[in-house]
Amino acid sequence: MSFWSIFPKKDELLNWFEKHGDGKVRLVNAHMHTPHSFSAFQNIPQALDMAVAENVKVVGINDFYTTNGYSEWAAGCADRKIFPLFNIEYISLNRDDQSAGIKVNDPNNPGRTYLSGKGLSFPPQLKEPFASKLASVLHETNLQVEQMCTKLNEVLLEKKIKFSLDYKTIQTELTKGMVRERHLAKALREKISAHYQTPEEQKEIYNSIFGGKDLKSGIDNFAAIENEIRGNLLKAGGAAFIAESPEAFLDMTEVCEMLLQAGGIPTYPFLADDANGNFTDFEAPKERVLEILRERNICSIEFITTRNSLAVLEEYASYFKNNGLVVTFGSEHNTPSMEPIELFARHSTPLSPLLLEINYEGACITAAHQYLMATEGKGYVSIDGKPTLEKRDEFAKIGKALIEYLIKN
């Protein structure tokens, strides 16, 4: 049975909503990674069960480069009466920004630009030549990590460590096919734990492979240890670092076109303020960012809320929403650290009613876009990236009806 067959036709759905809708603002997490890329979650059911336990009613799968988790996500959401958003994430390159030395939403690499696609078609569709280009990018990213694994084994051999890492085993046992540097870090930590029994032995091994630097984290803090492994060995300057091939990045305009062809809404993920209140070159002032996003045909933005202060979230989210952009929030969960599904600002600060409403409206527009693309072939954003601004409220209402219908039936 098609997921969309759960719902009645649009007019019937809206009639039902007039009778049964209660006007509540539902909790939303529109950006969650799963083990199909890298995730804090062991599996998709764990993520969705946590959402249910925390009363989050709308959840967006948002893996890097893949839609392979969509079917399980849709079925799991339907079983639990929570609404799924079908999203994806790419790392692209804007060569003009790179040439100008402008840091966009990667604070370390000028021109490198993370982009999400919100509300992709389900079942997924990606035609040529984009399917082949995506396959090429996946191959290049896996190849880079395989080369890092080889260099990491050279470090282990040099330090006379009594094990090595097998790339194929890591790919088979720790991933769904896509291998990230975080998988290498996890595999190395697990190997050290298995081969060296005492905390003292393990700390000695870390000191050796870190080139004489002591482990800063507690031996039971797995997430922190894996971050130290990445920082000391797998990042630029580390003994096992391999620079990414240019073929691992698609041009930013090409990614936007790919997202539109897949039925989605190109979305710019903000870094916004860091812990010291700083912004990247690209992201301030917000008035200039709005101009550039419009020039680039991007009508949707998102925030990973734990990165930001409540004040900046309110300022930026309100400004872009009031200027016609779709705004959503998420948590990522693409590190080993397990955080709540319910969203908070920096320092576990609860989101304000204003932010909850903005996030819900953005999720509702995205939900309606998905549904209408599947049932009528035309959503909120056209194939050339233009939003249907004059029908924004109508799309928000349809989305609310969809979410309420799934929750209550």
- Using 50, 70 and 90 to split pLDDT, how confident is the model at 1? low
| pLDDT for 87 | 98
Residue 2 pLDDT > 90, yes or no?
Answer: no
Residue 244 pLDDT > 90, yes or no?
Answer: no
- Using 50, 70 and 90 to split pLDDT, how confident is the model at 248? confident
Do the beta carbons of residue 144 and residue 242 sit within 8 Å? yes
**Cβ-proximal residues to 347 (8 Å cutoff; 6+ apart), any chain:** none
Q: What is the pLDDT of residues 5-58, one digit of tens each?
A: 999 999 999 999 999 998 899 999 999 999 999 999 999 999 999 999 999 999
**Cβ-proximal residues to 387 (8 Å cutoff; 6+ apart), any chain:** 299, 324, 326, 380, 381
Q: What is the pLDDT of residues 198-240, one digit of tens each?
A: 999 999 999 999 999 999 999 999 999 999 999 999 998 999 9
Q: What is the pLDDT of residues 340-349, one digit of tens each?
A: 999 999 999 9
Q: Domain boundaries in the chain?
A: 26-125+266-356, 132-234
Q: May I ask the CATH architecture of the domain 26-125+266-356?
A: Alpha-Beta Barrel (3.20)
Residues facing residue 87 across a β-bridge: none
Q: Which of 298, 295, 352, 296 is nearest to 329 (CA)?
A: 352
| pLDDT for 308 | 98
Instruction: Provide the percentage of residues in the chain whose pLDDT is more than 90.
Output: 91
Q: What is the DSSP letter of 384?
A: T
| Residue in the block written with tokens 């890492």 | 165
> Strand, coil or helix: what is 87?
coil
| pLDDT for 245 | 82
Q: What is the pLDDT of residues 15-28, one digit of tens each?
A: 999 999 988 999 99
Q: What is the pLDDT of residues 269-300, one digit of tens each?
A: 999 999 999 999 999 999 999 999 999 999 99
**Cβ-proximal residues to 212 (8 Å cutoff; 6+ apart), any chain:** none
- Using 50, 70 and 90 to split pLDDT, how confident is the model at 246? confident
DSSP 218-280: -TT-HHHHHHHHIIIIISTTSTT--PPPGGG-EEHHHHHHHHHHTT-EEEEEE----TTS---
Mean pLDDT of all residues in 305-332? 98
Count of alpha carbons within 13 Å of 148, Cβ hemisphere only?
Answer: 30
Q: What is the pTM of this model?
A: 0.93
> Strand, coil or helix: what is 209?
helix
Q: Chain-wide mean pLDDT for the chain?
A: 95
% helix / strand / coil in the chain, to the nearest 5?
Answer: 50, 15, 35
